[in-house]
């Protein structure tokens, strides 16, 4: 038995120690094939399941078996038609290459990724997304400069702030009217109450600034019939609309200025029975510049030398100083008390 074992070892050494025939040479007749010859034949007869892939097997596989492959395969994907960038760098090979023939794979997003937008934007995912992730910022959307450019406060929003339902929501055909998103703002506004006053829902008529609701430009003449000119143009709304009351505010002067009318004593408007149509003599810029029609109110037109005579005479001024009385420059007018 021992002699048989020794003979076997000698035969094995003789066979596998023999050099493989060189290129163009043949092994001696009857000689068993060498290890090199066997490997050469395997390379010739074995068909790679990966198609026309030319890298050595050991770059991905180990000598213990085809699976599992090496943790870090020696394969440079940058040398292919699709370099791996962003999140694709962390994806396992078989997640994209479901077929062992690695060239049988698409390079478009839709070839691997389901379109949860239901083709509302076509198949060009890269219009909004990048390989860094699905999360999209408004600044990344290149094609929103269409029906509704994102300017002002709108540029700071996320997509689903307007397109409800997130990624599966509606993106095409959404109304561009302000109230389609801001109806609650319109209904809840109380200063003034847009609903109670019957304001139009075309918000842009007053709110032309896309950055804020404040600083609205309200066309007072268009909506109320009362133009804000002169001193009225610089007033706050609440100076006329007391207590937040907007509807039913009077448009005649005494509606706001009755106290001014009653308190005026130079001349005394009430005592002299002046009309309450203030605009007859005054303008909207100041109370001081008055256009008083002397003929219409007194029956005595000022003509000739009377035109340049001051309302107050020298005698009246002296009387004021001596008696400490307020001058009433309309002596002789109906209703004037001579006593």
| DSSP track, 37-80 | HHHHHHHHHPPPTTSS--S-GGGT-BTTBSSSPPSS----GGGS
pLDDT bin (cut points 50, 70, 90) of residue 13 is very low
Q: What is the pLDDT of residues 232-242, one digit of tens each?
A: 998 888 888 88
Of 219, 221, 226, give the one whose Cα is nearest residue 205. Answer: 219
pLDDT reported for residue 166 = 63
Would you tell me how many other CB atoms lie within 10 Å of the CB of residue 189? 15
pLDDT at 313 over 60: no
CA gap 108, 28 in Å, rounded: 57
- pLDDT exceeding 90 applies to what percent of the chain? 14
pLDDT reported for residue 44 = 53
- Name the more confident of 143 and 148: 148
Q: What is the mean pLDDT of the chain?
A: 76
Range name among 22-31, 55-64, 213-222, 236-245 with the lowest pLDDT average? 22-31
pLDDT reported for residue 324 = 46
Backbone angles phi, psi at 87, to 5 degrees: -70, -15
DSSP string, 218-283: --HHHHHS----GGGGGS-HHHHSGGG--TT---STHHHHHHHHHH-BTTBTTTTT--S-GGGT--
Is 241 in contact with 266 (CB distance < 8 Å)? no
pLDDT reported for residue 142 = 54
Average pLDDT on 144-163 reads 79
Q: Which two tokens stand for residue 237?
A: 């709304």
Range name among 25-34, 148-157, 222-231 with the lowest pLDDT average? 25-34
pLDDT reported for residue 59 = 92
pLDDT reported for residue 39 = 46
pLDDT bin (cut points 50, 70, 90) of residue 261 is very high
Q: pTM for the complete prediction?
A: 0.45
CA gap 139, 121 in Å, rounded: 17
- Name the more confident of 201 and 25: 201
pLDDT at 26 over 60: no
CA gap 201, 175 in Å, rounded: 13
- Name the more confident of 168 and 316: 168
Q: What is the pLDDT of residues 67-124, one digit of tens each?
A: 888 888 899 998 888 999 999 998 888 888 988 999 888 888 888 888 888 777 777 7
- pLDDT exceeding 70 applies to what percent of the chain? 73
pLDDT reported for residue 137 = 58
Of 140, 144, 134, give the one whose Cα is nearest residue 166. Answer: 134
Is 114 in contact with 167 (CB distance < 8 Å)? no
Of 198, 208, 197, 159, give the one whose Cα is nearest residue 181. Answer: 159
pLDDT reported for residue 14 = 44
Residue that is written with structure tokens 């390989």 in the block: 131
pLDDT bin (cut points 50, 70, 90) of residue 244 is confident
Domain regions of the chain by residue span: 177-251, 254-323
CA gap 202, 219 in Å, rounded: 13
pLDDT bin (cut points 50, 70, 90) of residue 282 is very high
Cα angle 248, 250, 252; round to 5: 160
Average pLDDT on 61-67 reads 90
Mapping DSSP to helix (H, G, I), strand (E, B) and coil, where does residue 204 land?
Answer: helix
CA gap 316, 295 in Å, rounded: 22
CB-based burial label for 178 (10 Å; 0-12, 13-18, 19+): middle
CA gap 92, 110 in Å, rounded: 18
């Amino acid at each position: 038995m021992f002699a048989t074992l020794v003979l076997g070892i000698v035969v094995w050494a003789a066979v596998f120690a023999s050099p493989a025939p060189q290129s163009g040479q043949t092994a001696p007749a009857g000689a068993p094939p060498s290890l090199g010859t066997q490997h050469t034949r395997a390379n010739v007869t074995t068909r790679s399941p990966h198609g026309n892939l030319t890298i050595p097997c050991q770059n991905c596989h180990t000598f213990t078996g085809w699976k599992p492959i090496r943790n870090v395969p020696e394969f440079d994907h940058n040398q292919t038609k699709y370099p791996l960038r962003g999140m694709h760098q962390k994806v396992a090979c078989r997640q994209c290459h479901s077929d062992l023939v690695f060239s049988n794979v698409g390079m478009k997003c839709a070839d691997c990724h389901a379109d949860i937008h239901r083709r509302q934007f076509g198949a060009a995912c890269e219009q909004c997304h990048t390989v860094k992730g699905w999360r999209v910022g408004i600044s990344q959307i290149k094609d929103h400069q269409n029906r509704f450019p994102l300017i002002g406060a709108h540029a700071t929003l996320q997509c689903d702030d307007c397109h409800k339902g997130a990624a599966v929501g509606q993106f095409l055909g959404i109304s561009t009217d302000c109230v389609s998103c801001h109806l609650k703002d319109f209904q809840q506004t109380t200063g003034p109450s847009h609903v109670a006053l019957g304001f139009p829902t075309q918000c842009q008529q007053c709110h032309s600034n896309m950055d804020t609701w404040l600083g609205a430009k309200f066309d007072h003449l268009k909506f109320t019939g009362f133009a804000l000119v002169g001193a009225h143009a610089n007033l706050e709304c609440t100076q006329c609309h007391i207590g937040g009351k907007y509807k039913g505010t009077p448009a005649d002067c005494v509606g706001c200025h009755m106290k001014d009318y009653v308190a005026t004593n130079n001349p005394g408007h009430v005592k002299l029975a002046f009309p309450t149509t203030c605009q007859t003599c005054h303008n909207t810029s100041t109370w001081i510049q008055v256009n008083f029609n002397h003929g219409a109110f007194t029956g005595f037109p000022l003509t000739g030398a009377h035109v340049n005579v001051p309302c107050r005479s020298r005698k009246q001024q002296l009387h004021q100083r001596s008696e400490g009385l307020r001058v009433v420059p309309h002596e002789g007018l109906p209703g004037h008390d001579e006593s």
